[in-house]
């Protein structure tokens, strides 16, 4: 039994929770920031054989330093294959990858994500980046891991625009559309870990992070959030996981500096 850390930030527990969602030998498409740290942490702990794929067409990347961007030049030397977007996202689109990461400005109870606008699409109050590869990852990956800041204005009853469908209106709605991928498996938020009911596809709280509680999570969610019957505290990061994140993966604090 490894020793748990009692000194970690919310970003670190999110990176650790993301890492624990990945199984060895899986094919994983990786974005920048926390998904990247989570995947690299998984490779250095329980999943050394995952195949790391980047949207930019890098397959089985083995960078000697932590890449800053999905187009970082350090991803190329040592990779098994390098192509373009047709190669990188084509295999996602074909349904060949196990895991993809998603995020966004808003999410609803069925895991539908908005990365386009706040307000009206045609006259936005705030305009965001748009889909990028998110919609393709959501459609094609066997399962997705969503990482979100947990705030009431982000966990919304209704999202302003569906960039990447989760389970749409729930139940069998997603299944009827015939995507290669089966949808979001988990939401790793700044407050807890949430999953989706197998039939209704509604999001529920599985665990709350150390330092928070069920009431805080509910207060920061824009709908009446369901709670698991065996609700518990999220398993904290181990001392070793935190050491790898800080000393090996992000020694200059590029990704983990903000808390």
Partner 1 sequence: MRRSKVMSAKEAVSQYIQDGMTVLVGGFFHAISYTITHEIIRQRKKNLTICQSSFNEHADQLIGAGCVDRIISSYVWMEVFGPLYCFRRAMEKGIPHRIAMEDYSNFAMTARFLAGALGIPYMPLNSLKGSDMMNHAQWMGDKKVILQEDPFGSGISHALVPALKPEVGYFHAQRADEEGNVQMWGILGDAPWSVRACNQVIVSVEEIVSRDVIGRDPNRTILPAYKVAAVVKEPFGAHPKNTQGYYDVDRDFIFTYIGMAKNENTWKEYMDEWVYGVSDRSEYIEKYIRKYGYRKFASLKAKEMPSGCINYGY
Asked whether position 70 contacts partner 1 by CB under 8 A, the answer is yes
Closer to partner 1 by CB, 78 or 211: give it. 78
For partner 1, the binding residue among 24, 48, 62, 68 (CB under 8 A) is 68
Catalytic residue among 21, 26, 55, 241: 55
Asked whether position 250 contacts partner 1 by CB under 8 A, the answer is no
- Closest alpha carbon to 99 in 29, 164, 44: 29
How far is residue 112's CA from residue 184's CA, in Å, rounded to a whole number?
Answer: 9
Query: How many CB atoms are located within 10 Å of the residue 158 CB?
Result: 12
Closer to partner 1 by CB, 135 or 238: give it. 135
Least distance between partner 1 and beta carbon 216 (Å): 27
Least distance between partner 1 and beta carbon 219 (Å): 28
Q: What's the chain look like in SS3?
A: CCCECCCCCHHHHHHHHHHHHCCCCCEEEECCCHHHHHHHHHHHCCCCCCEEEECCCEECCCCCCCCCCCCCHHHCCCCCEECCHHHHHHHHHCCCCCEEEECCCEECCCCCEECCEEECCCCEEEECCCCCCHHHHHHHCCEEEEEECCCCCCECCCCCCCCECCCCCCCCHHHHHCCCCCCEEEEEECCEEEEECCCCCCEEEEEECCCCCHHHHHHCCCCCCEEEEEEEECCCCEHHHHHHHHHHHCCCCCCCCCC
The span of 176-184, 187-195, 218-226, 232-240 binding partner 1 (CB under 8 A) equals 176-184
For partner 1, the binding residue among 1, 7, 49, 125 (CB under 8 A) is 125
Asked whether position 76 contacts partner 1 by CB under 8 A, the answer is yes
Least distance between partner 1 and beta carbon 144 (Å): 13
Least distance between partner 1 and beta carbon 210 (Å): 26
Q: Of residues 134-153, which lie at the interface with partner 1 (CB under 8 A)?
A: 134-136, 139-140
Both tokens assigned to 127: 């305009």
For partner 1, the binding residue among 102, 168, 191, 194 (CB under 8 A) is 168
Catalytic (active site) residue 26: no
Asked whether position 156 contacts partner 1 by CB under 8 A, the answer is no
From residue 205 to residue 244, the character string flagging contacts with partner 1 as x (rule: CB under 8 A) and all else as - is: ----------------------------------------
Closer to partner 1 by CB, 45 or 164: give it. 164
Asked whether position 253 contacts partner 1 by CB under 8 A, the answer is no
Backbone dihedral region for residue 60 (phi beyond 0: left; psi -120 to 50: alpha; all else: beta): left
Residues that bind partner 1 (CB under 8 A): 32-33, 55-58, 68-73, 76-77, 82-86, 89-90, 92-93, 95, 116, 121-122, 124-136, 139-140, 161-165, 168, 174, 177-180, 255
Q: Which residues are catalytic?
A: 55
């Amino acid at each position: 039994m490894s020793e748990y850390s009692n000194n970690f930030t919310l970003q670190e527990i999110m990176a650790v929770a993301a890492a624990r969602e990945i199984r060895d030998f899986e094919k994983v498409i990786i974005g920048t920031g926390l998904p990247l740290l989570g995947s690299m942490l998984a490779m250095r702990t329980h999943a050394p054989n995952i195949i790391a794929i980047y949207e930019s067409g890098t397959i089985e990347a083995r960078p000697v330093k932590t890449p800053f961007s999905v187009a970082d030049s350090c991803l190329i030397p040592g990779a098994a294959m390098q192509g373009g977007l047709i190669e990188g996202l084509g295999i996602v689109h074909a349904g060949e990858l196990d895991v993809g990461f998603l995020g966004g400005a808003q999410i609803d109870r069925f895991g539908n994500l908005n990365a386009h606008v706040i307000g009206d699409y045609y006259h936005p109050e705030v305009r965001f980046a748009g889909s990028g590869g998110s919609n393709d990852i959501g459609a094609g990956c066997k399962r997705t891991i969503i990482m979100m800041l947990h705030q009431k204005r982000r966990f919304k009853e209704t999202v302003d625009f569906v960039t990447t469908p989760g389970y749409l209106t729930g139940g069998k709605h997603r299944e009827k559309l015939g995507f290669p991928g089966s949808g979001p498996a988990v939401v790793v938020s700044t407050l807890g870990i949430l999953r989706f009911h197998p039939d209704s596809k509604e999001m529920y709280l599985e665990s709350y992070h150390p330092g928070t509680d069920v009431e805080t999570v509910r207060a920061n969610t824009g709908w009446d959030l369901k709670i698991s019957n065996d609700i518990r505290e999220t398993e904290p990061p181990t001392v070793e996981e935190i050491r790898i994140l800080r000393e090996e993966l992000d020694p200059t604090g590029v990704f983990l500096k903000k808390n």
